[in-house]
Structures are given as C-alpha cells and as structure tokens.
Amino acid sequence: MNLLYNSTRNAEKKVTASEAILKGLADDGGLFVPEYIPKLDVTMDELKSMSYQETAYAVMKQFLTDFTEEELKHCINSAYDEKFDTEVIAPLVKVGDTYHLELFHGATIAFKDMALSILPHLLTTAAKKNGVTKEIVILTATSGDTGKAALAGFADVPGTKIIVFYPKGGVSRIQELQMVTQKGDNTSVVAIHGNFDNAQSGVKAMFEDKELEKELSAAGYQFSSANSINIGRLVPQVVYYVYAYAKLLENEEIASGEEINVTVPTGNFGNILAAYYAKQMGVPIAKLICASNENKVLFDFFETGVYDRNREFILTSSPSMDILISSNLERLIYTIAGQDAQKNAELMAQLKEKGVYEITPQMRERLADFAGGFATEEECAATIRKTYERTGYVMDTHTSVAASVCAQYRKDSGDDRKCLVASTASPFKFIHSVMTAIDGKYASADEFGLIDELSSISGVEIPNAIKEIRNADIRHEQECDADKMKETVKKILGV
C-alpha cells in the first residue's frame, strides 16, 4: 500500500514520497508529513541481529513506499559505506549511567551525515522516477553542521547545484573552515550578516516566491531542500533510534519490551521528531527529553504551551542549537492538533506575523510523551569536565547539553529508566570550547593547536574531516546581507 504525504497546512492535496522529497517544502509553505506513521513489520528480536543497512531498509521501506526494493537498497548501500569510520555506522557507548548513541562517524563528524549521506541518492532517484529534466538547486540554511554535510553529500552530484547560507560569526571556526574549503564545481557557500533564523527565513521565503520559481524554471532550474524540513532528511534519522534500541537489546543492556528514555540536544526539532516517529513505529520509548541551550524557546514551549520567539538571540558554545524558530516543530503541532491543517496554518501565521502562538489545552495534553529541559553554558562546561574526569570520555558541547539535561531530568523526576543520549557531534568539531571546559588553561590556545592535545587525552584518533581542513585552500568567500539572499542566489545561478 502506497503511503502518501500532505502539507501540514493543507491535508487535501496528496503526493508520493518521491514527490515530497523532490519538492522539499510544500507550495503553501507547509512541511510534508505522512498520512499516518507506519508500524514496523519486523520484531525487535529480528532487528537486533540486523546491520545498520538492514535496519535502514526495514524502517525506510515503510515510509518511502514508491521506491522499489532495488532503488532503496542502492541508496542505503551507497550512503552507509566507507565514508563512515566504523562499520557499525552509529556506535553505542556506555558513559557512566547513560548510553551515548554516537552519530558523528560520517564524513563531516556530525549527526547530519546520517541523513545527508543518503539524501542525494534519494533525491536523484526521485528525480528519475518523476521525469525531472531541470537541474535541481539545493538551497540550504545552516547553523553549522547541515551546511558541510549537505555540501559533502551533493558535491559534484550530476544534475544538482547546492547553495548554503550560514551566519557569519555564528558557527565555530572549524565548522566555517569545513564549509569554505569545500570542493565541487556545483557548490556555493555564502556567509550572511545575521543569525541562523535570518538565513532560514530567507531560504523559506525563496521557496514560497512564485515569481522566482518562474524565473528559475525558465532558466532550467528548480529548488529543493537539504534542511530537515525535507522529509528525505527526516526519515533516515528515524533509523538510528530503531537501531539503537535493537542494539541495547542485543547487548543485553535492556530486557525485551523494556521502555527507555531518549534525550536529544534540540535546535530545529528534526532529530527529536525522528525519535518521536520511532516511538510511533513501535520502539518502546517512554519519555522524549528535549534538551535546549540558553536559547530555550522549546523548553518554555513545553512548560507553558506558548511558543514565543520574541526574545534575545544568544550565541552559545553549542551553535547548531542557537535557533529561535524550530521549523520541524510544525510537524508535531500538526499532529497534536489532530492533523488539523487549518489550525496549524493559523498558528504558523501567528508565528510569522507576531512571533508567538499558544496551543490549546487539548493539544498540550498530547505532548505527554515529551519533557523539556535546558542547560546553561556553565552547566554544559561542567558536564564535559566532570564526565571526562570520571570516565575519560570526551563529549562535544551539544552532547553535553543533552547529558546535562538528562541528569537533571532524572534527579527532578525520579524516573530511573535507562537513558539514551543522542551524541550529535565529535568533540573535535568544537575543540576550543571542549578543551577550555576540561581545563581553563586552554582558553587562549589556537583551535588547531589543540587538535593533537584532544587526541592525546581522549585516546581518539584525529578524524579525517579535521586532517583535511588543516591545510585546505579557502574556496568560498562570498558574503551578503540577510535581505539580499535572493539576489545572491540569482547571481550565482546566472538568472
């Protein structure tokens, strides 16, 4: 049976999975969602002996029903190969009394690789299936990690171009270098004078611009997205939560059917939404703990039912989470509104016009699966230091937000279920913040000077992604004001 998709703002018009992946964003500005969340058709006992690739097929075939078995397996096997530095793709590591799901073993050492290594294959397959002849322009805003992972995934992929916007001064030096040294004749990187929300809003505005769409079409181009607003980004992320539970079972860390909690460091809400979808598919997850940094718009939402982006934007040591407009939350809002597209559209219009909306008491009741928490900069640094001192394990700044919130949740709630922490980036990616947290003597050190030191104290080999940028040439130096993104895109494309 074919699983169809509709917009969160219009439930009437249905598209196939491949059409949803191709478009990225619905014509009305909404996000594509499946008509229902499918159930797994294999048991956890069957899943526990499966490889990551086999698990990916078991999960993704349920969502992407218009892809043939051959097409989907080709996409999966092309994505999860030697680009990852471990055969298991997403290792589970026990750290103290929690389990860290390491999602940073791909080419760009961040969790975005888990989905962005497969998205180009899904997208080009979808283009062939739908007879697309135009060149696909991937238009993406990044708070640091999506950009490099998307660039690496789409570099020199035939029939595509990719343009990435990032906030100048709003990403780590290593994140920036990973992007501006990116090779590939079809890649463009632009630093905007503004923050991530400005970049994301600018990209969304271009997707909704009908005149621009006509101009691009006449020039032989069409837009698609590599952000987590694309359902082709979200579905592969469901896989690793299913895989993690099965591996906990295989390793006899949990009993069959035992519920676990999952803590996810959260910015744009895609990664934790994927865990929610895994729960809906049948994975025994109790609480989904949404961990925020000092930009705690999501924590406040879960506490009050009010989403309010009218607040100071804080630059933190976990920049990928420095976000005040969490795009993927719209998919959850649509769900808890009883799949009422009109209600969701009204709330999103309020967010756009006033920067704030409030959900109904009935909708709040449907958020019972979630708990919110946040960690200050001081708490994150302390968590990195204490974890290293107690266990020798070094985590990055984003993972420390989740670990800190997870510990606080356990203490406050008395909930002693085993907890999975989504470990979203290598500590090498945020090396200055990590090393300074471990010992203040590193505060004045050069980022690149700390690489060997981190490798030495953690016992972890320096990742290829870091080795590559040490002496790489800067290839992208373009900058623009936040209100000039459209003109910049047209210039890049020669339209």
Of the residues 23, 48, 112, 296, only one is catalytic, namely 112
Residue 412 has pLDDT above 90, yes or no: yes
Number of neighbouring beta carbons within 10 Å of residue 355: 14
Query: Has residue 225 got a pLDDT over 90?
Result: no
Place of tokens 């449907």: 366
Residues 182 and 180: their CA atoms lie apart, in Å, by 6
Instruction: Report, as an integer, the average pLDDT of 332-346.
Output: 97
Q: Which residues face 139 on adjacent strands?
A: 163
Convert the pLDDT of each residue in 3-55 to its tens digit: 999 999 999 999 999 999 999 999 999 999 999 999 999 999 999 999 999 99
What is the pLDDT averaged over residues 58-84?
Answer: 97
The answer to whether 237 touches 103, Cβ cutoff 8 Å, is no
pLDDT in tens, 174-193: 999 999 999 999 999 999 99
Rounded Cα distance between 405 and 340, Å, is 32
C-alpha 328/C-alpha 249 separation (Å) is 30
In the predicted model, is pLDDT for residue 391 greater than 80?
yes
**How high is the pLDDT of residue 1?**
76
% residues pLDDT > 90 (the chain): 92
pLDDT at 238 over 80: yes
Residue count of the chain: 495
Residue 99's DSSP bridge partners are 94, 420
CA angle 31, 406, 228 (to 5 degrees): 20
pLDDT at 146: 87
Nearest to 174 by CA among 443, 451, 382: 451
Phi, psi for 341 (deg, rounded to 5): -65, -35
- Number of Cβ within a 10 Å radius of residue 317: 24
pLDDT mean over 130-140? 94
Q: How far apart are CA 75 and CA 122, in angstroms?
A: 6
Angle at 240 between CA 236 and CA 245, to 5 degrees: 145
The answer to whether residue 229 scores a pLDDT higher than 90 is: no
What is the rounded average pLDDT of the residues 204-210? 92
Instruction: State the pLDDT confidence band at 272, using cuts at 50, 70 and 90.
Output: very high
**462 to each of 146, 183, 381, 457, how far by Cα in Å?**
21, 21, 22, 12
* CA 386 – CA 402 distance, rounded (Å): 14
| Whether the predicted pLDDT of 405 surpasses 80 | yes
- The pair phi, psi for residue 422, each rounded to 5°, is -75, 110
CA 398 to chain CA centroid, nearest Å: 12
| List of residues 6+ apart from 417 with CB closer than 8 A | 259, 260, 261, 286, 287
Phi-psi region of 322 (alpha: psi -120 to 50; beta: other; left: phi over 0): beta
Token pair in block for residue 172: 């780590």
Query: 222 - beta bridge partners?
Result: 136
Q: How confident is the model at residue 448 (pLDDT cuts 50, 70, 90)?
A: confident
H helices then E strands: how many in the chain?
A: 22, 16
Asked if residue 449 has pLDDT above 90, the reply is no
pTM of the shown model = 0.93
Residue 411 annotated to the active site? no
pLDDT band of residue 447 (cuts 50, 70, 90) is: confident
Residue 345: its H or E element: helix 341-354
Nearest CA-CA partner of 264 in 458, 409, 59? 409
Express each pLDDT in 458-487 by its tens digit.
999 999 999 989 889 999 999 999 999 999
Q: pLDDT tier at 455 (50, 70, 90 boundaries)?
A: very high
326: left (phi over 0), alpha (psi -120 to 50) or beta: beta
CA distances from 210 to 30, 132, 216, 320, 494 (A): 15, 19, 10, 30, 18
Give one DSSP letter per residue of 206-254, joined into a string.
HHT-HHHHHHHHHTTEEEE--STTSHHHHHHHHHHHHHHHHHHHHTTSS
Buried b (16+ CB within 10 A) or exposed e, 143-158: bbbbbbbbbbbbbebe
pLDDT-based confidence at residue 368 (cuts at 50, 70, 90)? very high
Q: Is pLDDT of 269 > 90?
A: yes
CA distance 285 to 278: 8
Structure tokens at 398: 């984003």
User: What is the percent of the chain where pLDDT is above 70?
Assistant: 100
Q: Is 94 left (phi over 0), alpha (psi -120 to 50) or beta?
A: beta
* pLDDT one-digit tens code per residue, 82-128: 999 999 999 999 999 999 999 999 999 999 999 999 999 999 999 99
**435 pLDDT band (50/70/90 cuts)?**
very high
